[in-house]
A and B are shown apart, each in its own frame.
Chain A
C-alpha cells in the first residue's frame, strides 16, 4: 500500500503547490499591475468618466512643469464612475476625481469622498459656481447647460417658430415633436426633469409632465439614442431618418454639429430653446486617502488653471468656469449664451432625486 499512499500524498502536495503558485502568480500580477499610484510619488492618477478629454500637448506641458506623470483612468459613465469612487474611497483607484456634477455632489460629499484643497487662483473661479466654500472639498471645473435643441430646417420648412420655454413644449403646435431621455438612467434626462422641477416647483412639475405626456413626448434610454437616432437635426439622426425635431441635449451641441460636419456648415443646423435650460456644473476633488496627495493637489491646480480651462471647451464641449478665459471662436459663433438657466441646490437635489425619479417613472413611462 505504501506506493499508493505516497502517490496520493504526492497528488495532494501537487495540488497544494499548484494553489500556491496560482496565488503567488496572481498577487504578483496584482502588485506589479496595481495602478492606484499609491506608492509611486512620481505619477498621479486622475479618475474620471468616459467623456474626459484633454489636448496632448497641454497635458505634456503640465507633466513637464510639475514632474509628475499623469495617468487617466476613465471609469464608465458619470454616475457609475462617481459610485465606484464612493465604494472604493478607503483605498481609491487614484488621487484626483473629476466629473462629479451638481446632481451627485451631495452624495459624494456626504460619503466623504474628498479632502480639502484650495486650488491656486481659486478667487478667479466665477462666484456663481462656487460651492462648499470654507471647506474647499471640491473645485468647480466646467459648466454646461442641458437644453432642448431644435432642428432649424424642420421649423423653417413648416414656417413654425421653434419653442422657447418649458411652457411652449406643451402647446398643440409642438405635439409629438420632442424626444427626451430616461431620467433614471441618463444625466441629460435627469437634468431636464430637474429643470422642470425648478421651474414649476415641487408640487407643479408632475402636472407639467402630465401635459408633456399628453402632448406626445417620447422617452428613450440614453442620449446617444435620442440625439443620434430620433432627432432629425443631428448628422447621425438625419442618417438614421430620425423624425423628432426637438431633443433634450446640451447648449453646446450646435457647435459640435459644426465642428464634426462633413463638410463643415456655415451655420449650425440646430438651435437651442434657451428657456428650457438646466445648469450642470462639474467638480473635481482630491480623493480622501489619495496615495499621492502632493501630486493630486498639483493636478487639481492644473484643472483650474487658465491653460486647462482654455483647452477644455473643444475637448469636452463645456464652458470654462474661470473668469477671463477666452472661449474658442466656434463657441462664440455657433453657441448660445444661456442667461437665466434653471438651477437647484445640490442638497435639494440629493433629497429629492430618488422620489422624483420614482414618481416621474410611474407617471411618464408606465
Chain B
C-alpha cells in the first residue's frame, strides 16, 4: 500500500497521516453517499429484480442469454462499431489536436469552443442534424442523391462528430504544453524529423492518445441515440438492446444480464483508462501553451491547417449549420416563424409554450451544476492526496455512470426511490440528480490534475504557521484551483443542458428540458413541430456554444485536464 510506505518513508508523526486518511474519508463520505444512493442502489435493485427471482439468484440466466445468437450479434456489432468509430475519430481528430495545440490562427478560441459544442449536444439533436444532411431529402440527397441513413457510415460519422472534441482537448491539451525544444534538441543531435518525433514527442503523447481513444471507445460502445436514430432497425448496440429489453419487452432478466455485460466491459475500459491516466501524470516537462503556439510556417503546415479547417467545416459546422438553416426555413419563406411559434401553447405537444423549456433547462442546469461541483469537487479533493489502491478504485468508480444505460438508472430510480423519506419519483430534483451523475466524472477529471499540481509543501507550511486545514485550503489551494473549478462548473453546466438519456426518462411532462422538448416535437407529425424542434435545437446549440466560449476565456495555458 502506498499509504503505508509514505508513513515509513516520511519522518512525520503517525498522527499526521492518520489525520490525512481521516480527512480523506470525510471528503469521500459525501460523494460515496451520493453515488451509493443515486447510482449503486437503484442499479443494483433493477439488476437484482431481473436475476434474483423467488429468493434465488439465477446466474444461469447469464449463460442462457449470452448463448443466444442474436444477443451475440448485438455484442459483436457494439464492439466493432466502437472500434471503427474510435479509429476513425483518431484518424480525423489527431491532426486537429496538433493544429489546435501548436498553431496560432485567427478565431482559434471560437473554433475550439465550436468543435466542443457537439460533445455536449443531446443525441436527438445530433441525429436530426445528420438526418437533415445525409438522410432522405437531406442536403447530400438533393445535391448528389447520396443517402447514408440506416447505414453504418451514418453512425460512424456521427460518432466522429460527437467525439472530435475529446481527442482535440485530451491530446491537444497536453501537446500544447510539451516543450518543443526537446524535439529540437534531438534534431540537433542528428535525428531525422520523423525519428525525433517518434522518440521524443510520441512517447510523451502516447498515454494521452490512449486515454482519448479509451474515452471515445467508451462513449461509442455505449452509444444509444445515434444508433437509434441513424441506424434503423437492423443495427442495435448493447445500450439500445438494454432499452428494448427493459422498456419494451419488460424482459428484466435479459436486461440485467446485458447490464452486467456492459458493466464488465465499461469496468475494463475504465481500468485501462485509469492506468493510462496515471502514466500520463508521470513527470513531463510542461511549458505554457501560449509560448508554444505560433503561426504556421511553410507549405506543409499551411496545408495541414487547411485540411483541419476543411474537416471541421464539413464534419461539424455543416451539420450544425443545417439545423440553423432549417430553423429559419419557415412555411412562408425564410424568417423567424418557427421561433415565434415557440411562444404559443397551441401545438398540442405540451401544456406550456415550448419556449419555457429554456427556462426549465437553465434552472435544472444551475441546480445540477451546484450538485456536480460539490460532489465532484469533494471527490477530486479526496483523490488529490497520495492515493492507495482503494482510492484509485474510487476514482474509476466515479466514471461508471458514463457507461451505464440511462434506462437502467431510470427504472432503478422508479423501484427504489419510491418510499418516504426518499420518494423522489415525481420530484423535480431527480432531473438535476441524474444529470449530476453524468457530470461528476467531468468535474473530477478537470480538477484532479490541477489539484495534484498544487505543491503539498505549501499546505504544510501553512499548517506549520498555524493555519487550520480549511484555512490552508482557502489560502493555498483555492487561488490555484478556482479557474479549474470555474471550468469544471461551466462544463457541468453545458453537460446538464445537453443531457438527454436520463432526463427524458424522468423529466415531468409539464417541465420539459430543451432536449426533451426537441425530442417530443420531433416525435409528432407536421412541419410546424419539425420547425420548432429545429429552432429549439438552434437555441440549445447557441447556449452551449456561449457557455463553452466563456470557458475558453477562463482557460489558462496550464491545464492538463481532459476537458
- Chain A residues with a Cβ under 8 A of chain B: 1, 3-5, 7-8, 10-12, 14-16, 18-19, 22-23, 26-27, 29-36, 50, 53, 72-74, 76, 79-80, 83-84, 86-88, 90-91, 93, 107, 182, 184-185, 219-221, 224, 227-230, 234-236, 239-242, 260, 354, 358, 361-362, 365-366
Binary A-proximity of B479-523 (CB < 8 A = 1, otherwise 0): 000000000000000000000000001001100000000001011
Q: Determine whether B80 belongs to the interface, using a CB cutoff of 8 Å to chain A.
A: no
Least CB distance from A37 to B in Å reads 9
Q: How far is the CA of A239 from the CA of B428 in the complex (A)?
A: 38
Contact present for A31 and B525 (CB under 8 Å):
no
Choose among A3, A73, A79, A239 the residue that contacts B426 (Cβ–Cβ < 8 A).
A73
Stretch among B22-30, B88-96, B173-181, B279-287 lining the A interface: B22-30
Return the CB mask of B403-430 against A: 1 if under 8 Å, else 0.
0000000010011011111111111110
Are A19 and B250 closer than 8 Å at their CB atoms?
Answer: no
Instruction: Using A12-B26, A27-B422, A72-B509 as known contacts, list a sample of 12 further A-B pairs with CB atoms less than 8 Å apart, ordered by residue number in A.
Output: A4-B468, A11-B469, A26-B429, A29-B428, A30-B422, A50-B523, A74-B509, A84-B414, A90-B418, A236-B527, A260-B526, A361-B70
User: A220 with B233: in contact, given A10-B468, A36-B426, A184-B248 (CB under 8 Å)?
Assistant: yes
Known A22-B30, A88-B415; contact A224-B422, beta-carbon cutoff 8 A: no
Whole-angstrom distance from the CB of B486 to the nearest CB of chain A?
21
Given the complex of chains A and B, what is the CA–CA distance between A219 and B231 in angstroms?
12
What mask results when residues 240 to 262 of chain B are scored 1 for a CB within 8 Å of chain A, else 0? 00001011111100000000000
CB contacts (< 8 Å) of B509 on chain A: these are 72-74
Q: Can you spell out 17 A-B residue pairs with CB atoms less than 8 angstroms apart? A: A4-B16, A11-B23, A18-B30, A26-B433, A30-B420, A30-B421, A34-B426, A36-B426, A76-B505, A79-B247, A87-B49, A185-B233, A220-B233, A224-B522, A234-B525, A235-B526, A365-B234
Query: B136: CB under 8 A from chain A?
Result: yes
Give Cα A56 to B423, complex, Å: 30
Structural contact, A30 and B429, CB atoms closer than 8 A? yes
Q: Is the interface of A mostly helix, strand, loop or mixed?
A: helix
**CB atoms of B246 and A83 under 8 A apart:** yes
- With a cutoff of 8 Å between Cβ atoms, the chain B residues found around residue A35 in the complex are 426, 508
Looking at the assembled complex, report how far the CB atom of B68 sits from the nearest CB atom of chain A, in whole angstroms: 9
Contact A26 B525 (CB under 8 A): no
> Do B250 and A33 have beta carbons less than 8 Å apart?
no
Q: Which residues of A contact B247 (CB under 8 A)?
A: 76, 79-80, 83
Cβ A7 vs Cβ B469 within 8 A: yes
B residues in contact with A228, CB < 8 Å:
525
What is the CA–CA distance of A32 and B426 in the complex, to the nearest angstrom? 10
Whether the pair A91, B421 counts as a contact (CB closer than 8 A) is no
Chain B residues with Cβ under 8 A from A79's Cβ?
Answer: 247-248
In the complex, the answer to whether A3 meets B468 with C-beta atoms within 8 Å is: yes
Residues of chain A with a CB closer than 8 A to B428's CB: 29, 33
Q: Which residues of B contact A16 (CB under 8 A)?
A: 26, 29
- C-beta contact mask, B11-24 vs A, less than 8 Å → 1, else 0? 00101100100110
A55 to B418, CA, bound (A): 31
Q: Which residues of A contact B429 (CB under 8 A)?
A: 26, 29-30, 33
Partner of B421, one of A10, A27, A362: A27
Supposing A3-B466, A26-B424, A236-B527 touch, asked if A91 and B30 sit within 8 A by C-beta, the answer is no
Give chain B interface residues in 455-480, CB to chain A under 8 Å.
463, 466, 468-470
Q: Contacts A30-B423, A229-B136: A10 and B470 contacting too (C-beta < 8 A)?
A: yes
Task: Tell me whether B233 and A219 are in contact (CB under 8 A).
Answer: yes
Are A91 and B427 within 8 A (Cβ)? no
**Nearest chain B CB to A202 CB, angstrom units:** 20
**What bracket does the count of chain B residues touching chain A fall in?**
35 or more
Complex Cα distance, B463 from A30, in Å, reads: 42
Q: Is the CB of B470 within 8 A of A11?
A: yes
* Cβ-neighbour of A224 out of B228, B232, B417, B523 (below 8 A): B523
Cβ-defined contact, A26 with B248, below 8 A: no
- Interface pair B411/A362, CB less than 8 Å apart: no
Q: Is the CB of B527 within 8 A of A239?
A: yes
* Residues A182 and B19 in contact, CB atoms below 8 Å apart: no
Say yes or no for B321: interface residue by CB 8 A criterion: no
Q: Which of B351-388 contact A (CB under 8 A)?
A: 374, 378
Q: Do residues B22 and A12 form an inter-chain contact, with CB atoms below 8 A?
A: yes
Q: Are A15 and B30 in contact (CB under 8 A)?
A: yes
Give every chain B residue within 8 A of A242 (Cβ-Cβ). 136
The answer to whether B466 and A5 have CB atoms under 8 Å apart is no
Residue among B348, B378, B426, B522 with the most chain A CB within 10 A?
A: B426
The 9 closest A-B pairs by CB, nearest first: A33-B427, A27-B421, A35-B426, A80-B247, A7-B468, A12-B26, A182-B233, A15-B26, A29-B429
- Asked whether, in the complex, the Cβ of A236 is within 8 Å of the Cβ of B463, the reply is no
Q: Is the CB of A241 within 8 A of B420?
A: no
Task: Determine the chain B residues whose CB is within 8 A of the CB of A33 once the complex forms.
Answer: 424, 426-429
* Complexed CA–CA distance, A11 and B232 (Å): 54
B526 near A236 (CB under 8 angstroms)? yes
